[in-house]
Amino acid sequence: MSARPLTDFRRLSINDATTKVQWTLEEEIRGYAELGIPGISIWRDKLAECGVAKAAALLREHRMTVTGLCRGGMFPAATAAQRQAAIEDNWRAIDDAAALEAQCLVLVVGGLPPGSRDIIGARQMVLDGLHAIVEHARQAGMPLAIEPLHPMYAADRACVNSMAQANDLCDAVGQGVGIALDVFHVWWDPMLEAEIRRAGKSRLLAFHICDWLVPMQDMLLDRGMMGDGVIDIPLIRGWVEYAGYAGFHEVEIFSAHHWWKKPAPEVLEVCKARYLSVV
């Protein structure tokens, strides 16, 4: 059931967090293009530094596909005013994603509000937030990609922690909402294959890859290069492709201890080599 080996870079995208320490967004767009990488996913802090109009022009110049803008979401908050501010920030993120012609806006939905122990309530706030932004997204033609995060981030980053939950939210909110699947977050889930099939082609909006290192130095910033950890990436890619996904494979590696310390071109060459050998 494993996917067939990849033989070219036509569907390779790099999430720009992978080189965030080494390069500006302009350097990333030029550098990725120079190395024959046709896709990029962009974080909003880097986009803000560059400016949306300049970034859009650079992307067109280099014929780069934006496989996602990271990130909207972060819906749960202690007060109604804060929740409304989050919704308005999501509207702006949708507009920015549309300006870049991104394939989706990735949503990291948020964890518990400060001081809260009510994860069920936080999940309700996520559903409410999605309802509050989906019409804006539909009008902008910008798909919203809910990214289930690993359960170790349930408290502080995202209270949506499985493909099943993401599918349930898609069922509830309807057209315009799909899923960004990152192997790092979901590789352990016994229901993964079934829930990928349940999501199907229409909901699978992005496929993120990296690896799970053993041991892991840091819960947030020690993600591994593909092949250096324990995730059977070809198996999961096979499940995703069997479900109809034919989009990009987006490398996203947060690595304060290793890859962020190396020159960006070296990191990208390793990404390309591993993409052909182990993804």
Could you list the residues that contact a copy of itself (CB under 8 A)? 112, 116-119, 123, 150-152, 154-156, 159, 161-162, 164-165, 187-190, 212, 214-216, 219, 229-232
97 — phi, psi (to 5°)? -60, -40
Residue number, 98 or 119, with CB nearest to a copy of itself: 119
The CB-of-112 to a copy of itself minimum distance in angstroms stands at 6
Residue number, 26 or 156, with CB nearest to a copy of itself: 156
Residue number, 212 or 260, with CB nearest to a copy of itself: 212
Cα–Cα distance for residue pair 151/88, rounded to 1 Å = 27
The CB-of-168 to a copy of itself minimum distance in angstroms stands at 8
Residue 186, Cα to own-chain centre: how many angstroms? 13
Residue number, 214 or 246, with CB nearest to a copy of itself: 214
The CB-of-88 to a copy of itself minimum distance in angstroms stands at 26
From the list 258, 161, 251, the residue with the least C-alpha distance to 216 is 258
The CB-of-227 to a copy of itself minimum distance in angstroms stands at 10
Q: Are 212 and 178 in contact (CB under 8 A)?
A: no
Q: Are 163 and 147 in contact (CB under 8 A)?
A: no
Residue number, 37 or 186, with CB nearest to a copy of itself: 186
From the list 75, 159, 169, the residue with the least C-alpha distance to 125 is 75
12 forms bridges with which residues in the sheet? 249
The CB-of-218 to a copy of itself minimum distance in angstroms stands at 9
Tokens of 168: 């349930």
